[in-house]
């Protein structure tokens, strides 16, 4: 198992452990921990998709690579501009105004 596979497996395992503990009623949902693991998982998954797409996958049409790359970009965008902003707000860290969504 490569190190990237192990990292993705450990992040997914963290989600499953959080879910199991939550279902067992051992603790209430902690937004900070959930956001941290979600950001980490989305960023690592997006980078992994880009790595796989451009280094190991051969024989895929250029148009398909664009769509797959766009999907990984959306994952990265969601992690950085949605989840990270919520995490910073949770810790009362000031967010620069140009990053905030208008409306």
**Of 36, 14, 18, which Cα lies nearest the Cα of 27?**
18
How many angstroms separate the CA atoms of 56 and 11, rounded?
23
DSSP state of 27: S
Q: Which two tokens stand for residue 103?
A: 């409306």
Contacts of 68-72 with C-beta under 8 Å, sequence gap 24+, read 72/45, 72/46, 72/47
pLDDT of residue 46: 93
Task: Name every residue whose Cβ is closer than 8 Å to that of residue 53 and which is 6 or more positions away in sequence.
Answer: 60, 65, 68, 69, 72
Tell me if the pTM is above 0.85. no
In this prediction, residue 102 carries a pLDDT of 60
CA 99 – CA 57 distance, rounded (Å): 35
> Mean of the per-residue pLDDT values for the chain?
85
Residue-wise pLDDT tens digits, 15-62: 888 888 888 887 766 788 888 888 998 999 999 888 888 777 778 888
Tell me, what's the pLDDT at 71?
93
């Amino acid at each position: 198992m490569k190190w990237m596979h192990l990292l993705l497996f450990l992040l997914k395992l963290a989600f499953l452990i959080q879910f199991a503990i939550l279902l067992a009623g051992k603790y209430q949902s902690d937004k900070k921990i959930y956001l941290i693991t979600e950001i980490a998982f989305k960023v690592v998954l997006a980078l992994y998709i880009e790595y796989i797409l451009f280094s190991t996958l051969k024989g895929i049409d250029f148009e398909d690579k664009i769509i797959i790359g766009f999907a990984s970009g959306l994952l990265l965008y969601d992690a950085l501009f949605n989840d990270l902003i919520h995490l910073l707000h949770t810790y009362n860290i000031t967010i620069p105004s140009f990053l905030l969504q208008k409306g």
